[in-house]
Structure 1
Amino acid sequence: MAVESDWQRALLRELGTDAPSRPALEVNVQASEHEPAAPSPSPVQRPTPVPQGPRKAHEVGVTGPAPQSVPIVDPRLLLALGTGQHGDSLTQRAGAGLRHLAASSGQEVAEQTRLAREVQQPVTTGRVIAVTSIRGGVGKSTVSALLGRTFNHYRHDPVLTLEADAALGTLPTRMGAEAVRWSCSDLARILTPAMQLTDVTGYLVPVADGGWLLPASQGRVGAPLDTRTYRTVTLALRRYFGVTVVDCESLPGEVARTAMDTAHVRVVVAPMTAEGVHASRQVLEWLAQLPNAALESTVVVLNTTSSDASLDPKVAAGHLRLPGVPVVLLPYDRHLAQGGPIRADRLSRATRDAAVQLAAESIRRAVSVR
């Protein structure tokens, strides 16, 4: 892999070079003892992010009391989830294991290795990937969380997952955050060019797999995130993070339109329904009218949220596959369907593969944008 650029090295030095590396996640591409040898893209060995704590309010010009930490979800509800279902049933896991042992998987391992290395490729400046959909409830926050966790796992530079949907969004829960404190609006008031990465991360929520999260709210109904705040935060934070994944509000919201217009890459989440695919096609046609060849930097995720989905995936993907726009199929996963924090060790193999493919398609387009 190419050598990281100087700005990335400087950011890593701010975090300290003696911290222990992160444990590997299940999403990593690994070859079993029965597979032919192939170069394996190891999870990145970068320091575990340790929040330093924000500077005192008077040091950064903040007036008024600081927000209090608020739990994301009632702990009793999280206990009710238990350890969570596995994405594949026991029968499916056993069958997949037998097929894996019986078949020659050298080509499969090589493809997985190639995709993982694409996810790891360096960027010269921070890249923003905006995720949205034509309506809520189709898995937009789930896709954002999968993308953020995949980038967190593979990349060497700092990764931020940002929530730009203040309508009681579920991104903090999906990312495994236990509590939130500072929001986008709070951070917009205190960001200054003099702040270092360690100052900024003190206001963010550290994620278990190594990245950071910035929520849009504290989980209460309140004033929606406005376009000016979104622009202020994303423009300021780009210089600290190699990749920022933005979980936008649904279209045609003003913030979502701004995010899609200004992002380096757009990810459109389409549900596996006839009306959902039809509406998502209209979103793609709108993107085609934006400047700077928006379709060339767009990826579609065809999300299967029900085990009873009857729409033909090939027909649906063909309807959404405009010139230059890849379609990534996210299969039904029991672990994702139950809600709550996403655990990489509970995801199905197909879901993990789809997440890596989506990350590779996204970063490939982000790097090509000038």
Structure 2
Amino acid sequence: MTDVTTVFRAEQRFADPATATPQPEPDWLAPTPPIGIPMDPLPPAAPLFNQYVVEQPTYRPAVPSTPYPDLSTSALLRQVKRPPSDGWRKWLYVLSGKLINVGEGPHAARRNSLIAQVNRPLAGCYKVAVLSLKGGVGKTTITAALGGTFASIRGDRVVAVDANPDHGTLSQKVPLETPATVRHLLRDADGIERYSDVRGYTSQGPSRLEVLASDNDPTVSEAFGSEDFDRTLTLLERFYSLVLTDCGPGLLHSAMKSVLKQADTLIVVSSGSVDGARSASATLDWLDAHGHEDLVRRSVCVVNGVRPRNGKVDMQKVVDHFSRRCRAVCVVPFDPHLEDGAEIELDRLKPNTREALIQLAALVADGFPAGDAIERFS
């Protein structure tokens, strides 16, 4: 009882009314238990936003809260505008002693955006097949130029395979470093364990694109077939991020069945002429008729070698036709360096051609799948 009385005195619940000073009305209205001890007031209600707790993903470790300021790069360094890379903006920046920086222009900003798209993260190996029902439309040239664009921008390993059973010319687009062909690679496949082993069978150009040549031996009677392509692709996808396949003209040669089964996307090449456009459309018709509708929807059409004044052909109608059938359409202008048919050096291309190839690479990269690891940490 002594303890209880002490509590009561501390609370001053039973003071003499005559001598007690007026006390403010208590701000709690809770009932009093029988023994006279007041109940604690109810805790304040939790804020509404605490009702929605966002759990941290299991793959991301919990970061303990800290009273110290953030030491990230963006917090510590002042954000500096990127200097212009071309045009009058660059000259102004240089002549002013790098004091006047008006930033990139719209053209350069678009180019940087395309390059960023080409550099999209890629999980595993992505396989691109370049084909056309008609020969002579620049299919091999597009394969080499696109592969070189990817290799020069991304910096990872890119290889182009010549799957033309009839004397393919893809190996002529880069400096020849080895006489080895895909047949030699398959013959020695059991002894290949690392990238340096594969590198002995490919030739590499200035863009860092590697090319695996087709078998041009006239004494070989057996064509490069579907089983050969499967074995080749199984070997290459262990060491390369991108594999481009230069298919032969036509769609009925023996390797095409495997090419279409393995491809992640297709590039259908057309020329700017009437017969070239009709052949490219017939290619899509054949694919639709043989159960490859999904590949057609994911494909990219390239209208190649278009001259500034292309005669009577309405190029906009050609683009409109293929844009209704394919995922995207890219027009690559005529370029004298590509017309030569020799080794391709990207630095020798006209600016418009180079821009078109970067745009084509960005369109292809737009189809890259996002792997589980990329999605988790993005």
Structure-2-length-normalised TM-score = 0.66
Give, in angstroms, the shift of residue 368 of structure 1: 5.8
Secondary structure at the residue paired with 1:252? coil
The 3 A distance-change label for structure 1 pair 292 and 271 is: closer
1:122 is matched with 121
Give, in angstroms, the shift of residue 322 of structure 1: 2.2
1:184 is matched with 182
Higher relative contact order (CA 8 A, sep 6+): 1
Give, in angstroms, the shift of residue 107 of structure 1: 1.9
Question: Which deviates the most, 254-263 or 311-320?
Answer: 254-263
Secondary structure at the residue paired with 2:110? helix
Give, in angstroms, the shift of residue 366 of structure 1: 3.3
1:365 is matched with 367
Q: Contact 1:180–1:218 at 8 Å: present in 2 too?
A: no
Report the Cα distance in structure 2 between the residues aligned to 1:318 and 1:177, rounded to whole angstroms: 38
Secondary structure at the residue paired with 1:192? helix
The 3 A distance-change label for structure 1 pair 209 and 118 is: same
2:232 is matched with 233
Give, in angstroms, the shift of residue 324 of structure 1: 4.8
Secondary structure at the residue paired with 2:266? strand
1:309 is matched with 310
The 3 A distance-change label for structure 1 pair 183 and 317 is: same
2:215 is matched with 217
2:107 is matched with 108
Residue 271 in 1 paired to residue 271 in 2?
yes
Secondary structure at the residue paired with 1:113? helix
Q: Contact 1:168–1:221 at 8 Å: present in 2 too?
A: no
1:252 is matched with 251
Q: Which residue of the other structure, out of 342, 345, 348, is the alignment partner of 1:343?
A: 345
2:159 is matched with 160
- Within 5 Å, which residues of 2 pair with 1:84-99? none
Secondary structure at the residue paired with 2:359? helix
The 3 A distance-change label for structure 1 pair 253 and 306 is: farther
**Aligned letter for 1:124?**
A
The 3 A distance-change label for structure 1 pair 214 and 280 is: same
Give, in angstroms, the shift of residue 345 of structure 1: 2.2
Report the Cα distance in structure 2 between the residues aligned to 1:277 and 1:114, rounded to whole angstroms: 30
Report the Cα distance in structure 1 between the residues aligned to 2:194 and 2:267, rounded to whole angstroms: 30
Q: Contact 1:303–1:329 at 8 Å: present in 2 too?
A: yes
Q: Contact 1:132–1:256 at 8 Å: present in 2 too?
A: no
Q: Contact 1:250–1:256 at 8 Å: present in 2 too?
A: no
Report the Cα distance in structure 1 between the residues aligned to 2:326 and 2:351, rounded to whole angstroms: 27
The 3 A distance-change label for structure 1 pair 123 and 272 is: same
1:198 is matched with 196
The 3 A distance-change label for structure 1 pair 368 and 325 is: farther
Report the Cα distance in structure 2 between the residues aligned to 1:221 and 1:368, rounded to whole angstroms: 45
Query: How far does the alpha carbon of each residue in 1:246-273 deviate from its partner, in whole angstroms, 9 at most, with x for none?
Result: 1111222332343133201100001111
Consecutive unaligned residues of structure 1, counting only runs of 5 or more, are 1-29, 38-103
Give, in angstroms, the shift of residue 358 of structure 1: 0.9
Secondary structure at the residue paired with 1:208? coil
The 3 A distance-change label for structure 1 pair 287 and 320 is: same
**Aligned letter for 2:270?**
A
Q: Contact 2:287–2:293 at 8 Å: present in 1 too?
A: no
Give, in angstroms, the shift of residue 308 of structure 1: 6.6
Report the Cα distance in structure 2 between the residues aligned to 1:302 and 1:291, rounded to whole angstroms: 21
Query: How far does the alpha carbon of each residue in 1:4-37 deviate from its partner, in whole angstroms, 9 at most, with x for none?
Result: xxxxxxxxxxxxxxxxxxxxxxxxxx82152479
Q: Contact 1:180–1:215 at 8 Å: present in 2 too?
A: no
Secondary structure at the residue paired with 1:327? strand
Report the Cα distance in structure 2 between the residues aligned to 1:222 and 1:137, rounded to whole angstroms: 25
The 3 A distance-change label for structure 1 pair 320 and 222 is: farther
Give, in angstroms, the shift of residue 296 of structure 1: 3.1
Give, in angstroms, the shift of residue 222 of structure 1: 4.3
Consecutive unaligned residues of structure 2, counting only runs of 5 or more, are 1-83, 92-102, 373-378
**Aligned letter for 1:191?**
A
Q: Contact 1:140–1:247 at 8 Å: present in 2 too?
A: yes
Report the Cα distance in structure 1 between the residues aligned to 2:140 and 2:108, rounded to whole angstroms: 29
CA RMSD of superposed structures (Å): 2.7
Give, in angstroms, the shift of residue 321 of structure 1: 1.6
1:79 is matched with none
Give, in angstroms, the shift of residue 173 of structure 1: 1.2
Secondary structure at the residue paired with 1:304? strand
Q: Contact 2:139–2:269 at 8 Å: present in 1 too?
A: yes
Query: How far does the alpha carbon of each residue in 1:69-120 deviate from its partner, in whole angstroms, 9 at most, with x for none?
Result: xxxxxxxxxxxxxxxxxxxxxxxxxxxxxxxxxxx97222121111111111
**Aligned letter for 1:256?**
M
2:283 is matched with 283
**Aligned letter for 2:305?**
T
Report the Cα distance in structure 2 between the residues aligned to 1:235 and 1:266, rounded to whole angstroms: 19
Q: Contact 2:134–2:279 at 8 Å: present in 1 too?
A: no
Report the Cα distance in structure 1 between the residues aligned to 2:218 and 2:149, rounded to whole angstroms: 28
Give, in angstroms, the shift of residue 343 of structure 1: 1.9
Give, in angstroms, the shift of residue 312 of structure 1: 1.7
Residue 325 in 1 paired to residue 327 in 2?
yes
**Aligned letter for 1:312?**
D
Matched residue pairs, number? Answer: 274
